[in-house]
Amino acid sequence: MPVARVKICGLTDENAARMAASAGADAIGLVFYPPSKRYVTTSQAASIASAIPPFVQRVGLFVNETKEAVERIKDTVQLDLLQFQGGESPEYCESFNFPYIKALQMKPGVDITESFKAFPNARAFLLDTYHPDQHGGIGETFNWDEFPDYSDKPLILAGGLNPDNVQDAIKACQPYAVDVSSGVESGPGIKSTEKMQAFVRSAKSIEVMS
């Protein structure tokens, strides 16, 4: 049966990355945004990425970073996918000639489908909870009734997900994938093996429409 893919974001050490992959995660996220509690340096990220087995994607999360820094990190860490979490323009995102996903905040009153049109070459869109000052990782859900019921690109659901609510989230939104960070932690940036296992198990036990 078709099931939602799972991305576990904000990995900060090799063991947690191995445990995420072992739990069944389809992708892991590495945060290259210094203000984040889950920030990793390029060398740390390279070590974490090297611990990931084949067929698990390495996603690099950036927030309004310089093009030079993204290029350097992308090549050094050998990322599979870029995730732009800030106010990056379509021209900026396209300039890398590399697969990327664009994160969009679900700001009340904003037609998110208009934002889809601005990034026609994005591989997918990640929809996250709106916050005026933060770029993800706040551990709060948004109104799932506002999740678009159609897009010509895969949609990734993020924002406040955890092992207890991910099944309800998937039933309500029917996303291509779900993204979790703080919801599988025992502390900021410290991933819990048990919570990661429970999250993946719950997420992959729910069928989604293909």
Q: Which residues are annotated as catalytic?
A: 9, 128
Tokens of 64: 């309004």
Residue 16 CA to chain centroid, in angstroms? 16
Q: Angle at the Cα of 172 (from 170 to 173), degrees rounded to 5? A: 65
Tokens of 102: 């664009």
CA dihedral 71, 75, 78, 81 (to 10 degrees): 20
- Residue 156's beta-bridge partner residues? 126, 177
23, exposed or middle or buried, with CB in 10 Å at 0-12, 13-18, 19+? buried
Q: Do 161 and 141 meet the contact criterion of CB atoms below 8 Å apart?
A: yes
Longest dimension (CA), the chain: 42
21 CB-near residues (< 8 Å, 6+ apart): 28, 52, 53, 56
